[in-house]
């Protein structure tokens, strides 16, 4: 594994826009209960839209999509259980989290709701603290689930962005690494996407083993799509972490090639003229950004990501697995300075 330093690009864009509040739909024909729920949600920073029954709720959702629905069980025209079934049957609302308001505390009644697709319950009477806690926790679980890569089980883009922003806000030193598999396309072209997915999951396992070996503080890992991964760690962990992941991944990848390709050290990729081009076996390119540039903090998380991405491009210009680390201390540093 090779390492190098490189000069980062200029300052990144300005601060990110403020996130909008979560939108909660309250569906209840009882104005007193609906008003109580809506008022307390709004006091705690949620945006609220209301419907009097299941049919009105479905009509409103055609024009505006809530982040969560609080639905009463007993309503005219369409009750809460039937509304939940309808929501689960529609692709655009199938993943909408639902909390059911009910006076029914019997297990058999809860089973009916859970079978229909209810995520959580609030049994009347309930207080404000329980309402806010259940809404907040259900939204958090749903967002975390949506942010996880189904292939690797690692957090995705939104969670990676939030982690960088939180570390910047907390202060202290950290490094962000951008990991990419070199010559991944020939693997898909020759072996197909299923085998390609095996290379991606192999890299995820190598990252996990390397992070475990790195010890404390814990290393954050993310999968931002395809063969692209991110790690966030203390600067002192970068070199042992990347060395471990490269060694582990290259050994794992060798086992995923057909034996003949592994022995000769390349795959033959058909070209458009009917011939074959040789593609070397996969390696890793890793770009690393530090939490400060020349002693100055970055303006926002996007600037950190931009530097890590630039470093990854530098790494890709080098042979074999390579780690390009941004260590600029002044504007006069050269992109090719050795470590």
Q: What percent of the chain has pLDDT over 70?
A: 87
Among 228, 236, 231, 245, which residue's Cα sits nearest to residue 160? 231
Most confident of 16-30, 69-83, 109-123: 69-83
Mean pLDDT across 229-256: 95
Spatial neighbors of 240 by CB under 8 A, at least 6 apart, are: 213, 214
**Average per-residue pLDDT for the chain:** 85
The pLDDT-based confidence of 299 (bands split at 50, 70, 90) is: confident
Amino acid 144: pLDDT: 77
Quick: pLDDT tens for 138-157. 998 888 777 788 888 888 88
Q: How crowded is residue 258: how many other Cβ atoms within 10 Å of its Cβ?
A: 11
- Predicted TM-score of the model (pTM): 0.67
Task: Identify which has the larger pLDDT, 146 or 214.
Answer: 214
Question: What number is the average pLDDT over the span 166-188?
Answer: 91
- Residue that is written with structure tokens 């009509």 in the block: 59
- Evaluate if residue 8 carries a pLDDT over 80: no
Q: Which of 47-56, 95-104, 167-176, 293-302 is least confident?
A: 293-302
Q: How far is CA 46 from CA 25, 41, 132, in A?
A: 10, 5, 10
Roughly what angle, to the nearest 10 degrees, separates helices 184-191 and 193-214?
140
Report d(CA 42, CA 141) in Å as an integer.
21
pLDDT of 103 over the 90 cut:
no
CA distances from 132 to 33, 65, 118, 142 (A): 15, 20, 17, 15
Cis ω for the linkage preceding 315 (within 30 of 0) = no
pLDDT digits (tens, 9 = 90+) for 132-141: 999 999 998 8
pLDDT tens-digit series, residues 12-71: 333 444 568 999 999 999 999 999 999 999 999 999 999 999 999 999 998 899 999 999
Cα-based distances in Å from 220 to 36, 62, 99, 246: 40, 39, 31, 17
Fold of 151-325: Alpha-Beta Plaits (3.30.70)
* Contact predicate 97/68, CB 8 Å: yes
More confident position, 8 or 308: 308
**Taking a C-beta distance cutoff of 8 angstroms, is the pair 4, 339 a contact?**
yes
Report whether pLDDT(73) > 50. yes
Confidence of residue 4 (pLDDT cuts 50, 70, 90): low
3-state secondary structure 162-229: HHHHHHHHHCCCCEEEEEEEECHHHHHHHHCHHHHHHHHHHHHHHHHHHHHHHCCCCCEEEEEECCEE
Highest mean pLDDT out of 11-20, 98-107, 176-185, 259-268: 176-185
Predicted pLDDT at 13: 33
In the chain, CATH 3.40.50.2300 covers 23-147
- What's the pLDDT score for residue 3? 60
pLDDT band at 273 (very low <50, low <70, confident <90, very high): confident
Residues of the chain within CATH 3.30.70.270 domain(s) are: 151-325
Local confidence band at 334 (pLDDT 50, 70, 90 cut-offs): very low
What token pair was written down for 213?
Answer: 């070996």
The pair of three-digit structure tokens given for residue 299, joined into one six-digit string: 């303006």
Q: Which CATH number fits the domain 23-147, given the four candidates 3.40.50.2300, 3.30.70.270, 2.60.40.10, 3.90.1010.10? A: 3.40.50.2300
């Amino acid at each position: 594994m090779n390492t190098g330093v490189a000069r980062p690009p200029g300052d990144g864009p300005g601060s990110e826009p403020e996130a909008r509040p979560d939108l909660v739909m309250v569906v209840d024909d009882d104005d007193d209960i609906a008003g109580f729920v809506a008022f307390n949600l709004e006091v705690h920073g949620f945006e609220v839209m209301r419907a009097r029954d299941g049919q009105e709720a479905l009509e409103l959702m055609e024009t505006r999509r809530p982040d969560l629905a609080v639905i009463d069980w007993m309503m005219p025209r369409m009750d809460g259980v039937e509304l939940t079934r309808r929501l689960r049957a529609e692709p655009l609302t199938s993943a909408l989290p639902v909390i059911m308001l009910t006076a029914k505390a019997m297990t058999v009644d809860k089973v009916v709701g859970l079978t229909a697709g209810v995520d959580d319950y609030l049994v009347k009477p309930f207080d404000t603290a329980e309402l806010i806690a259940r809404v907040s926790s259900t939204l958090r679980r749903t967002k975390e689930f949506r942010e996880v890569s189904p292939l690797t089980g690692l957090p995705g883009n939104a969670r990676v962005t939030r982690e960088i922003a939180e570390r910047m806000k907390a202060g202290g030193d950290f490094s962000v690494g951008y990991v990419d598999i070199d010559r991944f396309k020939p693997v898909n072209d020759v072996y197909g996407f299923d085998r390609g997915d095996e290379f991606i999951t192999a890299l995820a396992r190598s990252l996990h083993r390397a992070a475990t070996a790195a010890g404390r503080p814990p290393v954050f890992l993310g999968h931002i799509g395809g063969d692209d991964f991110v790690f966030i760690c203390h600067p002192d962990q970068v070199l042992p972490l990347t060395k471990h992941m490269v060694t582990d991944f290259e050994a794992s990848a060798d086992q995923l090639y057909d034996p003949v390709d592994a022995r000769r050290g390349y795959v033959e990729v058909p070209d458009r003229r009917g011939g074959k081009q040789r593609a070397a076996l996969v390696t890793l390119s890793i770009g690393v950004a530090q939490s400060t540039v020349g002693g100055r903090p970055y303006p926002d998380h996007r600037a950190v990501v931009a530097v890590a991405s630039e470093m990854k491009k530098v790494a890709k210009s080098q042979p074999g697995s390579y780690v390009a680390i941004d260590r600029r201390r002044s504007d006069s540093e050269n992109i090719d300075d050795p470590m």
